[in-house]
Amino acid sequence: MLSPKFLPYFILLSGSFLHAKTNIIFIMADDLGYGDLGCFGQKLIKTPELDRMAKEGMKFTRFYSGSTVCAPSRSVLMTGQHMGHTHVRGNAGGDMMRQSLRDEDITVAEKLKESGYSTALIGKWGLGEVGQQGHPLNQGFDYFYGYLNQVHAHNFYPEFLWRNHSKHILNNVVKPAGTSARAGFIGGAATKRVEYSHDLFATEAISWIEKNKDNPFFLYLPLTIPHANNEGSRMFGDGAEVPDYGMYENKDWPKQDKGQAAMISRMDKDVGRILNLLTKLKIAENTLVIFTSDNGPHDEAKHNPERFNPSGPLRGMKRNLTEGGIRVPTIAWWPKTIEANGESDQPFYFGDLMATSCEIASSKKPVGMDSISFLPPLSGDLNKQDSHQYIYWEFYERTFRQAVVMKEWKLIRSGMNNSTIELYDLSRDIHEDKNLASEHPALAQRLISYMEEAHIPHPNWKTPRTTQK
């Protein structure tokens, strides 16, 4: 690794601004829907800080997650490779080696660390356990605090969190949800709730930023709310774990609905704390903050998703390849570089963090990436903007499915025998109601050819050629 002192450089952005090496903070909610924020149309849940972030920065209205569920979406984010190329392509059940990144995988954190950045992961990882190649400290992060295992991460009042390689014991008491392990871990729900993991992550993130404010840094902050505690849903009928209902306490709603709303507003408050801290430390103008979600919204906390319309104008939710499962609310904030009230409708996705980070850090993008930089719209230099020929997804649960987006066109295929083909014009049909496959057979075939090109078979992830029952 090169020493930071040998890596001084400056990035020239539009408007003749010179920025020293720019800090990057990537904040990711878990299972937050496209319509869950006020600035994306939410009416009942209050998100004033994220709304302010959008007003002072830029909304991306066609930003896509890496996948429609947790682990593969994070693999795409970290590796800059879409679902046809990235190593982790699904939530792997009990076989955690399938869900671990490898030594040969190059992550965003590794590239930024090579460029002299301090790097930290605070929150939920899901791409490698202790003793595995995919552990965060083996993937470019200097510091890690949080959950390694995604089932462990269901419980917001856990008995412990990981700090690097050691357990940080908490004062919660957890009742296991049976005796069988899932994803290599026996999940559960707390019967004694003292320390709320989200609050610990927010405090840890603020402390880490303060300690690293004088050096270029990359903070990856994958939060766990508003994901449901799935085990809590099954055991107690309430998976919306939150210390209090806050402003929703007196709403005439079921407790699960209050909890869902309270989680989102609690997260909103903490994003505001981070933005205010950057301003206080006088590093806001040299810090790019991105907020997004790992996939579409869930319906697993026993709340009523219809109350909040979490997908907004989109159809589908988590585990769907319709827009509601993969299009995610995304905001970028970078004072004096991003013009206020900006908006981009160009299609980008999680894999583009790699190229963007490399451009910011003046680092060469690794070979074999499915990644373009979205720095030009942030800096206002649209003449230098590349575009994707297409963006690709695949999903292995229940029925094997694929999706591809090419500009305004979207094709979804179930199975690999073309028995079920859906073609939509997203410019006119954002809800994906009218299947145009029969009207545009040549176009459908072109998009199918992109699917065939994008999918590289992987021994860990079997792809049946026919639709599964």
pLDDT per position as a tens digit, 392-431? 999 998 889 999 999 999 999 998 777 799 999 999 999 9
- pLDDT at position 466 is 45
pLDDT at residue 347 above 80?
Answer: yes
- Tell me which residue has tokens 């899901």: 126
- pLDDT at position 19 is 46
pLDDT at residue 322 above 70?
Answer: yes
* pLDDT band for position 94 (cuts 50, 70, 90): low
- pLDDT at position 361 is 97
pLDDT at residue 467 above 50?
Answer: no
Q: pLDDT for 22-68, tens place per residue?
A: 999 999 999 999 999 999 999 999 999 999 999 999 999 999 999 99
For the residues 140-160, what does the mean pLDDT come to?
96
| Mean pLDDT, the chain, integer | 93
For the residues 262-288, what does the mean pLDDT come to?
98
List of domains in the chain: 9-387 (3.40.720.10), 398-454 (3.30.1120.10)
- pLDDT at position 383 is 82
For the residues 71-93, what does the mean pLDDT come to?
95
